Amino acid sequence: MESVKMERYLIVIDMQKDFIDGALGSDMAKAIVPKVIEKIKEYEPGHIYATRDTHFENYLETLEGKKLPVVHCVKESEGWQIHPGVSAAMPQAKIYDKYTFGSGELAEEMYRLSLGREMEIELAGLCTDICVVSNALLLRAKLPGTVIKVDPSCCAGVTEESHKAALETMRMCQIDIMQDKEDEE
């Protein structure tokens, strides 16, 4: 009997300029860029997917814009672009533009890929407490038997406290939170 090889997939969430050094950028987000680039190198090029937060000129008129009145990730703007170093590390990645926190389209694609194969999915990116957790929970709902994991050192939240709270929420929903290498030292 042939053993089935475990296929590993990486999903890079919203590593865009506006979340790193633009309208909603932060030192925490800047700090994970090299770690995310290293993480990408651990995966086969065809097994890397990414999301891109996408808004339009009317952003401030939307529900999200009323709750977070900071224009960001407007389609085709500089801030909408994936960070150049991250983009260069994953030239073959399939990118999903998403108009809300999570991508149902990406979850559907991962479900289709899971049929008839053993796989695990890892998430990295921004922001842990908004889009990473949203995509992780969509994937968990769609793929209840698939290992889904998150490397905290490759994610950053709006604040350190909300980052940790999101990690705990994911842990409670049976998403594996990898041991942070900095915690081991």
pTM above 0.85, yes or no: yes
Higher pLDDT, 151 or 183: 151
Of the candidates 150, 142, 145, 143, the one whose C-alpha atom is nearest the C-alpha of residue 169 is 150
Q: What is the DSSP letter of 107?
A: H
Q: Average pLDDT, whole number, for the chain?
A: 95
Find the mean pLDDT for residues 87-108.
Answer: 98
CA–CA separation, 163 vs 74, rounded Å? 25
Kindly tell me if the per-residue pLDDT of 23 is higher than 70.
yes
* DSSP assignment string, 89-108: H-TT-EEEEESSSS-HHHHH
Q: Residue 6 carries which side chain, given as an amino acid letter?
A: M
**How many C-beta neighbours within 10 Å does residue 15 have?**
28
Sequence-ordered list of residues with C-beta below 8 angstroms from that of 101, at least 6 positions apart, any chain: 130, 131, 134, 135
33 contacts 85 by C-beta, under 8 angstroms: yes
